[in-house]
Structure formats: structure tokens, C-alpha cells
């Protein structure tokens, strides 16, 4: 389900943007937008100036609030330009999200129970709206794509709510914040002769809080951000120190060993190879150096392990190429045993200086090729008492429902092809 969603989204990116003259569709504008691009889209579709549309929305919002509702509705129903589906359609198709949203139901019931038990009227009446907001929020957040999410997250900066913006924005902020503070105080202070009704008190406090947030929010955000940046920097520094320590340990050790073994070229190559392998495993596969004996659970890791093992034991270079990967099962372990046997054979008998080990995981089968450019042999000449090839490789493969093909020619080297079917493919 998740995969499908992602793929769908990528697909719509790959599409060419529609030419401007195509004005038949109501689409949100990705270029001319402050929040969701609704006003931009409407102005493009109807040919009205975008500022007028924005003012209309603002006026409708201030008087009665229907501007906000209209904007939200349009945002849900109009697809972003160049996309196939609107957020609304995506939400309706997102069944996993629906399930997630329904998970808020227990919370709703809990609220009801608490509200009834303690006889708090507002709590029971607020429960439904709260539930709808939470569920809707989850659904929307899941179905708004990441680029738009990022845009919305930075909306406060553009509206001038956040620090670092211009002096005019700061002024606006102070004015709005002060107005909210005054408004809140006014709501709380008027009618001081009577006890204040609960709703009124709540509303007053909310307005006051909003004023405080508008005034000081940016400052808090900055402090939080600085703290986060500092923590990240510390983590990075620790990582660097860790890396330096590890590189120190393993590389310097190896260099020291190489200096001491300078009269033995084979040993030097072997040391350099094993160091290279360790570093690679760490840099590219994230395996921690020195942590030997970690459980090998995938085919690619197992093939690399075979190469490492043979390199160390037989002082030979094994070049590994693996295409695809899959978890190991018994049948594949059999295949790998045969592959190890073939690689060891090549290392022992071929006389070549390097072996190519290639493994490919396909949907219905796994194949491994072991190839050397050594002296090769005639298959018919192998004495029947030398059962290595026959027993270990061919019989083993047949037992596992696979097959082994050995090709060799004198003077040209040998290639062993091992194939095993995959069960339960996908």
C-alpha cells in the first residue's frame, strides 16, 4: 500500500507541466502561492488579479469565517498543477490512513466517558470536533506530498511571523500581538461585576495566549532551533572522532604490518586486500570493522563473505559483483556451499591470480558464476576418485532442485555456473 502511494507520486512528477494556454482545469498554482496556491489557481483560471482573490478570501474569513472554509475546500478539491489527483481524492483512496484516523475513536470515547463522569459539558461537546480535527489532520498530513508539506511548514516565514524577516514583518508582528493581548484582556475584564461565564474565560485566555505566541513565538523557535543545531554539531563531531579512532586502529595497524612484511609481496597484497575489504564494508555497507562473525542473513553478504574467506585462505584476489539481493533460505545456503567449493577449487587448482565471482538474484532464480582465467582442464580427464566437483558441486545443486554447469578449456580457464530456483518468490 505504502509502496503504491510513493510510486504514484513519483509518476506524477515525471509528467510534463501543462502548457499555460490549457486553462480548462481548476488547478492550484505551484508558482504563485503563499499557502496552498488556491488563490493563484483561481486567478489564473478566471483571469482575475491574484491580490483581489486573496483579499476576497481574507474578507470572507474575517466576516463569518466562511473564507477559511472555502479556501480549505478548494485546497482539497483542486489538484496542484501538473498532478493528477487532488489531495481530496488521495485522502479518499488512502485506506491505511483511514484506519489510522479511526484509531482516534478510543480517545473520543474516553473523552466522552471522562466528560460525562465529571459532568464537564464543554469536554463532551468538544470531543467530536476534536476527533474530526485529529483524524482529518492525520489523513491530510499523510496525503500532502513532501514538497508541499515543506512549503506549508515554512508558511510562517513568508507571512512574516518568524524572526529573520524584514523590519516591516517585525512591526506587523508586534502590532498583531499587542492587539491580541489587548483583546484578550478586554474579553476577560469586561463584565467584571458578574462572574465570567466559562466559555468567555476560555476564549479570553486563548486570545491572550495567541498574543503571547505571536509576540514571542519566533524567539522560542529560534532558541529551539539553535539547541537542535548545537546537538547535531555535537553528534557530528562525535561521529568524526569515532571514525578517526577506527581508521587509526585498523589502517595504522595494517600499515605497520606491511612495513614489517616488506620482503613478502604476497603477504603485503593480502594485508592490503583485507584492509581494503574491511574499510569498504564499513564505508559502503555500514559494517563495523573488527566485528567479525556477525550473522550473515542475505545472499549478497554471504557471497562477499565467501570471497573474503577464500582471499584470506588462498592468497588470491576474488572480485565480487552482486546484482540484487534476497534473504537466505536453506536452498540458497546449499547454492552458496557449492559456490564456495567452486571458488576454493579455482583458487587451489587454476593458478590464476584472480577469480571473478558474480551472483544475480532474479525473480524466480538465483545464479552464481565462478570464473577464473587459469589453466583449465578437460572435464573427462578428471579422475573418478577426485570426487570434489562431482559430489560437492553437481550433486549438491541437483539435490536442491538447481543445476551446475562447468565449462573449461585447457589454457583458457574455467567457469562454474550454479543456478537455484527461488521458492516463494515475492
How many residues does this entry show for the chain? 426
Rounded CA separation 74/93 (Å): 18
Q: What share of the chain is helix, strand, coil (3-state, %, to 5)?
A: 65, 10, 25
We find the least distance from the C-beta atom of residue 272 to other proteins, in angstroms, to be 10
Rounded CA separation 13/16 (Å): 8
Closest CB to other proteins among 9 and 142? 9
Closest CB to other proteins among 47 and 286? 286
Q: Identify whether the C-beta of residue 369 lies closer than 8 Å to the C-beta of residue 357.
A: yes
Q: Identify whether the C-beta of residue 423 lies closer than 8 Å to the C-beta of residue 329.
A: yes
We find the least distance from the C-beta atom of residue 273 to other proteins, in angstroms, to be 9
Which whole-number Å values give the CA distances from 228 to 213, 231, 235, 236, 238, in the listed order?
20, 5, 11, 12, 15
Closest CB to other proteins among 230 and 362? 362
Instruction: Look up residue 28 and give its DSSP letter.
Output: B
Q: Identify whether the C-beta of residue 97 lies closer than 8 Å to the C-beta of residue 139.
A: yes
We find the least distance from the C-beta atom of residue 247 to other proteins, in angstroms, to be 14
We find the least distance from the C-beta atom of residue 14 to other proteins, in angstroms, to be 6
We find the least distance from the C-beta atom of residue 353 to other proteins, in angstroms, to be 10
Which whole-number Å values give the CA distances from 328 to 15, 286, 331, 357, 420, in the listed order?
39, 20, 8, 18, 12
Rounded CA separation 109/131 (Å): 10
Q: Identify whether the C-beta of residue 382 lies closer than 8 Å to the C-beta of residue 350.
A: no
Rounded CA separation 196/187 (Å): 10
Instruction: Look up residue 78 and give its DSSP letter.
Output: S
Closest CB to other proteins among 227 and 409? 409
Closest CB to other proteins among 337 and 360? 360
We find the least distance from the C-beta atom of residue 342 to other proteins, in angstroms, to be 13
Closest CB to other proteins among 28 and 277? 277
We find the least distance from the C-beta atom of residue 310 to other proteins, in angstroms, to be 15
Rounded CA separation 30/237 (Å): 39
Rounded CA separation 173/165 (Å): 11
Cell numbers for 408, please give them: 573449461
Question: Which residues here bind other proteins, judged by CB under 8 A?
Answer: 7, 10-11, 13-15, 280, 283-284, 298, 319, 321-327, 356, 358, 360-363, 369, 371, 373, 415
Closest CB to other proteins among 63 and 284? 284
Instruction: Give the contacts of 331 (CB within 8 A, at least 6 positions apart).
Output: 400, 401, 402, 420, 421, 422, 423
Q: What number of helices (H) and strands (E) belong to the chain?
A: 17, 5
Closest CB to other proteins among 3 and 384? 3
We find the least distance from the C-beta atom of residue 109 to other proteins, in angstroms, to be 40
Closest CB to other proteins among 217 and 351? 351
We find the least distance from the C-beta atom of residue 279 to other proteins, in angstroms, to be 9
Return the residue matching grid coordinates 491530510: 140
We find the least distance from the C-beta atom of residue 356 to other proteins, in angstroms, to be 3
Closest CB to other proteins among 8 and 115? 8
DSSP 58-78: HHHHHTTSHHHHHHHHHHHHS
We find the least distance from the C-beta atom of residue 414 to other proteins, in angstroms, to be 12
Closest CA to 247 of 280, 222, 221: 280
Closest CB to other proteins among 167 and 363? 363
Amino acid at each position: 500500500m505504502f509502496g503504491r502511494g510513493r510510486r504514484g507520486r513519483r509518476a506524477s512528477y515525471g509528467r510534463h507541466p501543462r502548457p499555460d494556454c490549457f486553462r480548462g482545469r481548476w488547478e492550484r498554482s505551484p508558482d504563485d502561492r503563499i499557502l496552498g496556491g488556491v488563490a493563484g489557481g483561481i486567478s489564473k483560471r478566471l483571469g482575475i488579479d491574484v491580490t483581489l482573490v486573496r483579499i476576497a478570501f481574507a474578507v470572507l474569513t474575517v466576516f463569518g469565517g466562511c473564507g477559511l472554509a472555502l479556501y480549505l475546500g478548494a485546497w482539497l478539491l483542486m489538484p496542484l498543477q501538473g498532478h493528477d489527483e487532488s489531495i481530496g481524492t488521495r485522502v479518499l483512496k488512502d485506506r491505511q490512513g483511514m484506519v489510522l484516523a479511526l484509531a482516534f475513536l478510543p480517545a473520543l470515547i474516553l473523552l466522552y466517558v471522562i466528560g460525562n463522569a465529571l459532568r464537564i459539558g464543554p469536554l463532551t461537546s468538544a470531543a467530536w470536533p476534536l476527533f474530526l480535527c485529529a483524524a482529518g489532520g492525520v489523513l491530510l498530513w499523510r496525503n500532502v506530498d513532501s514538497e508541499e508539506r515543506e512549503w506549508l511548514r515554512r508558511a510562517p516565514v513568508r507571512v512574516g511571523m518568524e524572526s529573520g524577516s524584514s523590519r516591516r514583518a517585525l512591526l506587523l508582528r508586534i502590532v498583531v500581538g499587542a492587539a491580541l493581548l489587548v483583546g484578550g484582556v478586554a474579553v476577560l475584564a469586561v463584565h467584571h461585576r458578574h462572574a465570567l461565564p466559562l466559555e468567555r474565560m476560555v476564549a479570553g485566555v486563548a486570545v491572550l495566549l495567541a498574543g503571547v505566541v505571536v509576540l514571542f513565538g519566533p524567539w522560542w523557535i529560534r532558541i529551539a532551533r539553535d539547541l537542535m543545531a548545537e546537538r547535531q554539531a555535537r553528534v557530528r563531531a562525535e561521529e568524526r572522532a569515532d571514525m578517526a579512532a577506527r581508521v587509526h586502529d585498523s589502517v595504522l595497524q595494517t600499515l605497520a604490518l606491511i612495513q614489517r612484511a616488506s620482503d613478502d609481496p604476497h603477504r603485503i597484497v593480502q594485508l592490503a586486500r583485507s584492509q581494503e575489504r574491511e574499510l569498504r564494508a564499513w564505508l559502503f555497507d555500514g559494517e563495523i570493522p573488527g566485528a567479525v562473525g556477525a550473522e550473515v542473513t542475505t545472499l549478497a553478504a554471504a557471497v562477499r563473505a565467501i570471497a573474503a574467506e577464500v582471499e584470506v585462505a588462498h592468497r588470491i584476489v576474488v572480485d565480487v559483483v552482486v546484482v540484487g539481493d534476497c534473504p537466505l533460505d536453506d536452498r540458497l545456503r546449499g547454492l552458496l556451499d557449492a559456490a564456495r567449493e567452486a571458488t576454493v577449487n579455482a583458487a587451489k587448482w587454476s593458478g590464476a591470480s584472480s577469480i571473478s565471482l558474480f551472483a544475480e538474484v532474479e525473480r524466480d532464480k538465483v545464479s552464481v558464476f565462478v570464473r577464473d582465467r587459469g589453466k583449465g582442464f578437460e572435464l573427462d580427464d578428471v579422475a573418478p576418485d577426485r570426487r570434489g566437483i562431482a559430489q560437492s558441486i553437481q550433486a549438491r545443486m541437483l539435490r536442491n532442485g538447481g543445476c551446475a554447469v562447468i565449462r573449461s578449456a585447457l589454457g583458457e580457464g574455467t567457469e562454474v555456473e550454479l543456478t537455484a530456483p527461488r521458492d516463494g518468490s515475492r
